[in-house]
A and B are shown apart, each in its own frame.
Chain A
Amino acid sequence: MKSIMSFVVVFLALTLQINAQKQIPNISVKTLDGSSLNMDEITKEKGVKIISFWATWCVPCINELDAISEVYDDWKDETNVELIAIATDDARTKKRIKPLINGKGWEYKILLDENQDLQRSLNITTIPHVIVIKDGKIVFRHTGYFPGAEDQLYDVVKENSK
């Protein structure tokens, strides 16, 4: 027991000591029509972007994207922010992505991280997970979704788009 605790303590200490990850790794993901896209094509663009990791089977993820969808037009008008929703669905559920986003009428850019290479490289263990980037650099991360988190997210977006 003692050894486990010290293991945990040391790694937590180690965590605090290191500065947070600033870059999105240049991993290749897929667009919905099946072609490859390197993440640097997104991170090289100026401005504020929200990168949201979700899946068709994840209820809180869908709640979050539904909630943002209702105010997304206002967000875009006020801050020029763009939301990129990265689906981590694998072969079991990925065929649901297209009908689901159309059925819901989401206007996000949708990308597919089918074998979770990008998710793994960002060390994301649970979804939903949102990342805000400004000029390609990570400025904010958050795991999980509860109602109201979208307001907190928008505060971060506004602050960074000044």
Chain B
Amino acid sequence: MKKLLYLSFALAFSVGFSQDKDDEEKKDWGALTGGFESIVQWYNDDTGLGKFAEDEHVRSNNYLKLDYNYGNWFAGIQVESYAPMPLLNYSPKLDDSGIAQYYAMYKTRKLEITAGYFYEQFGSGLILRGWENRPLGINNSFRGGRVKYDPSDALSFTAMYARQRDGFEVSEGEIFGFNSEVDLTNLFKLETSSLSAGFSYVGRKEDIPEEFQNTGFNEMTNAFSARLDYSGNSFYSGIEYITKSKDAVVNTQRYIADFVEPGNGLLINFGYSQKGLGIDATFRRLENMSLFSEREASGNVFNENILNYLPGLTKQHDYLLTNIYVYQAQPTISVPDPSLLKYGEIGGQVDVFYNFKKGTPIGGKYGTKIAVNASYWAGLRGDFNFTDREAEIDYFGFGQKYFSEFSLEVRKKWNRKWQSIFYYVNQYYNERYIVDKLGVVNSNIGVVETTYRINSKRSIRAEVQHLWTPDDNKNWVGGTLEFNVTPRLSFYLNDIYNYGNDDKDEQIHYYNVGGSYARGASRIALNYGRQRGGLVCVGGVCRFVPQSTGVTVNISTAF
């Protein structure tokens, strides 16, 4: 802790010093920029939810990022401090403080060389993605070396060798990566459209435990991806195919003896759009496609060591009750018993956006905007022979239904002061296959949101939601009230209430009250209330959080 303090003093001093000089001598000393974010939570005992049974009632996650740039040279560090402990359900590997990441980079128009920690994504991330998402506790960056070279506007190459970040350390596997992007528009002399292709390779090399050696897979696992994207005036389309070499099947962080399978994935997308109308359709098939930088990380609950990005392709909702039954992609092969066989997933989604023009009967004075989404996901159909430990999987076979959803959103501005959003969702959620609980949930959710502008600065927003289901925890009701005092200062109050629960003790109010103030690139938010236990999802990736009650302070700034 002390070290960190000294470090921050030293940095503050050196920065102040360099900028004084900058002003006095008008010399270019380069630019130092950065960001700081701190989330402090104080968990208290709650008669409704029970005593807080863990260590440390007060915990915090703190991130300080500093970047320095001088001409073509760039360097930076990220200091992280989880003191005295990380927030609830962040990985225990983070229980420390210190310099978590550092890098140095040289960059010109055609060439970029990086040493240290870096983030990277090949194509859509189906084969490789290193990224950071602090609310989810994800930091899958890479530590090693990377070279990017763009010999012309139409060509771009990336080569990397690294190991993946794992807490304050790196994971076991060595990662080799190569990516190329080729713009074919000029080659084919296309004038009103564009065509591009991509090819990637990712290799992971990791020692095999003695008892699993010579069982039909190598320490090096190879994955290849090829893709093609077309974009015309109003029509566009893309296809990506990915294949992974034979590798041991690992479920919930344990090798499954004598079970070795290859994997593959297919992603097809097309869309049409013109002014006032947009349609998009996506199909995806994933067979045994999870990929980790360490085999035994497969199925870990903290989203650690994940090499590729396989989000659930469904609509990302923004309301509390629409985020209870969230689909997560099911790319993994697992055969725990004959009644639960999973080989991967197959399905798709369609989006339609339409704007009823101003002056039409439905459009009214300001126009009416609607958005429709429908998605359907099922398991791959196949057979598993428990004696030979072999899976036979159909290519275009839809097996057990996992999830389906239909949603309709209508946005309507009534006049200069009033504006509303109507939202309806119908869901089918197979708990047995998605979260390993018994049962299926059929639910309907309705949301009405209205904003009233009191004057040019002040407004009130209110939200009412209800979830109807005869299954799982039954009905929920919820509401939000938000008072925006100025565009900078705002207060809110919300509550969701599981009034339909069969167990009277579980009919709990999850209430929250708080406010935020933002100025420039800084923001401070204060919140008190109850967190519903369950999955917290951002961008199709979810993290399980236990329920808790407490105060949260969130400070973030950029400089």
Give chain A residues whose Cβ lies under 8 Å from the Cβ of B366.
70
Interface flags, A120-162, vs B, CB<8A=1, else 0? 1111111001000000000011111111110110000000000
Q: In the bound complex, do residue A8 and residue B555 qualify as a contact, i.e. CB atoms below 8 Å apart? A: yes
Rounded to whole Å, the gap between the CB of B453 and the closest CB of chain A is 5
Q: In the bound complex, do residue B271 and residue A98 qualify as a contact, i.e. CB atoms below 8 Å apart? A: yes
Neighbour of A35 across the interface among B36, B183, B353, CB < 8 A: B183
Q: In the bound complex, do residue A115 and residue B559 qualify as a contact, i.e. CB atoms below 8 Å apart? A: no
Q: Please tell me which stretch of B46-54, B129-137, B216-224, B434-442 contacts chain A, meaning at least 4 of its Cβ atoms lie within 8 angstroms of it.
A: B129-137
Q: In the complex, what distance in Å separates the CA atom of A100 from the CA atom of B277?
A: 8
Q: In the complex, what distance in Å separates the CA atom of A53 from the CA atom of B453?
A: 24
Interface flags, B273-303, vs A, CB<8A=1, else 0? 1111111101000000000000000000000
Give chain A residues whose Cβ lies under 8 Å from the Cβ of B62.
4, 7-8, 11
Q: In the bound complex, do residue B539 and residue A147 qualify as a contact, i.e. CB atoms below 8 Å apart? A: no
Give chain A residues whose Cβ lies under 8 Å from the Cβ of B353.
99-100, 102-104
Q: Please tell me which stretch of A18-26, A43-51, A76-84 contacts chain B, meaning at least 4 of its Cβ atoms lie within 8 angstroms of it.
A: A18-26
Neighbour of A103 across the interface among B31, B125, B354, B518, CB < 8 A: B354
Q: How many of A's residues come within 8 Å of B, CB to CB?
A: 72
Q: In the bound complex, do residue A18 and residue B32 qualify as a contact, i.e. CB atoms below 8 Å apart? A: yes
Neighbour of B459 across the interface among A11, A123, A148, CB < 8 A: A148
Interface flags, B509-522, vs A, CB<8A=1, else 0? 00000001010111
Q: In the complex, what distance in Å separates the CA atom of A17 from the CA atom of B62?
A: 19
Q: Please tell me which stretch of B169-177, B308-316, B397-405 contacts chain A, meaning at least 4 of its Cβ atoms lie within 8 angstroms of it.
A: B308-316
Interface flags, B65-77, vs A, CB<8A=1, else 0? 1010100000000
Q: In the bound complex, do residue B83 and residue A7 qualify as a contact, i.e. CB atoms below 8 Å apart? A: yes
Q: In the complex, what distance in Å separates the CA atom of A4 from the CA atom of B196?
A: 50
Q: In the bound complex, do residue A10 and residue B121 qualify as a contact, i.e. CB atoms below 8 Å apart? A: no
Q: In the bound complex, do residue B277 and residue A102 qualify as a contact, i.e. CB atoms below 8 Å apart? A: yes
Q: In the complex, what distance in Å separates the CA atom of A156 from the CA atom of B288?
A: 53
Residue of chain B at shortest CB distance from A140: B520
Q: In the complex, what distance in Å separates the CA atom of A114 from the CA atom of B421?
A: 28
Q: In the bound complex, do residue B484 and residue A148 qualify as a contact, i.e. CB atoms below 8 Å apart? A: yes
Within 8 A of B (CB), among A55-74: 56-59, 63, 66, 70
Give chain B residues whose Cβ lies under 8 Å from the Cβ of A148.
453, 455-459, 484, 486-487
Q: In the bound complex, do residue A18 and residue B121 qualify as a contact, i.e. CB atoms below 8 Å apart? A: no
Does A96 belong to the interface (CB within 8 Å)? yes
Interface flags, B219-231, vs A, CB<8A=1, else 0? 0000000000101
Residue of chain B at shortest CB distance from A23: B31
Does B324 belong to the interface (CB within 8 Å)? no
Residue of chain A at shortest CB distance from B270: A95
Q: In the bound complex, do residue A20 and residue B539 qualify as a contact, i.e. CB atoms below 8 Å apart? A: no
Q: In the bound complex, do residue B487 and residue A3 qualify as a contact, i.e. CB atoms below 8 Å apart? A: no
Give chain A residues whose Cβ lies under 8 Å from the Cβ of B280.
95-96, 98-99
Rounded to whole Å, the gap between the CB of A31 and the closest CB of chain B is 9
Q: In the bound complex, do residue A20 and residue B520 qualify as a contact, i.e. CB atoms below 8 Å apart? A: yes
Highest count of chain A CB atoms <10 Å: which of B8, B16, B421: B8
Q: In the bound complex, do residue B275 and residue A102 qualify as a contact, i.e. CB atoms below 8 Å apart? A: yes
Does B37 belong to the interface (CB within 8 Å)? yes
Whether A152 contacts B487 in the complex (CB less than 8 A), given A4-B83, A10-B8, A34-B196, comes out as yes
Neighbour of B194 across the interface among A10, A33, A94, A147, CB < 8 A: A33
* Residues in B lying within 8 Å of A, measured CB to CB: 1, 4-5, 8-9, 11-12, 15-16, 19, 31-38, 40, 58, 60, 62, 64-65, 67, 69, 81, 83-84, 109, 119-121, 124-126, 129, 131-132, 134, 153, 156, 183, 185, 193-194, 196, 229, 231, 236, 269, 271-280, 282, 309, 311-313, 316, 318, 351-355, 366, 369, 371, 411, 421, 451, 453, 455-459, 484, 486-487, 490, 516, 518, 520-523, 539-540, 555-559
Apart from the given pairs A15-B522, A102-B278, A123-B65, 11 other A-B contacts in the complex at a CB distance below 8 Å: A14-B15, A21-B521, A90-B125, A123-B559, A141-B521, A142-B487, A146-B484, A147-B451, A148-B457, A148-B487, A152-B457
